[in-house]
Amino acid sequence: YGQYEKAAELLSQIPDYVRVLVIPGNHDFTRKALPQPPIPKEQAQPLFDLGTVTFLANPAMVSLHKVHFQLFHGQSLEDLAGLVPAARHDYPEVLMEYLIYVRHLSPF
């Protein structure tokens, strides 16, 4: 759980008026299947103690200042990298455009 302590150390440098949104990924203490639930409090207590961090599921829909968008960790980008023409690991935007095109976050 050292990653959460280090993350809390770094995030504590952000001013208190800034809210931080956290979604789980493939290295977090949640299930790997989508949708992933928020990171449990008992696993990431140092982050919860900051009081400025909001934990969400993966994927998550959020609205900030009337702008709606989706948060997604993007584990499926690794799977897509070898299957989508013109896709490369150093150009993730090609893969993200493909996800928008097929209207699916994890098509394979």
* 46 & 79 share domain: no
CA–CA separation, 52 vs 50, rounded Å?
A: 5
For 90, the domain range is: 75-108
* 17 & 67 share domain: yes
* 65 & 82 share domain: no
* 8 & 44 share domain: yes
* 36 & 57 share domain: yes
**pLDDT 10s per residue in the chain (108 long)?**
689 999 999 999 999 999 999 999 988 989 988 899 999 999 999 999 999 999 999 999 999 999 999 999 988 787 788 787 777 777 788 888 888 888 888 776
The pLDDT of residue 108 is 66
* 17 & 65 share domain: yes
* 58 & 107 share domain: no
Contact yes or no for 49/8 (Cβ under 8 A): yes
**Structural domain tally of the chain?**
2
The pLDDT of residue 42 is 92
The model carries a pTM of 0.82
The pLDDT of residue 3 is 92
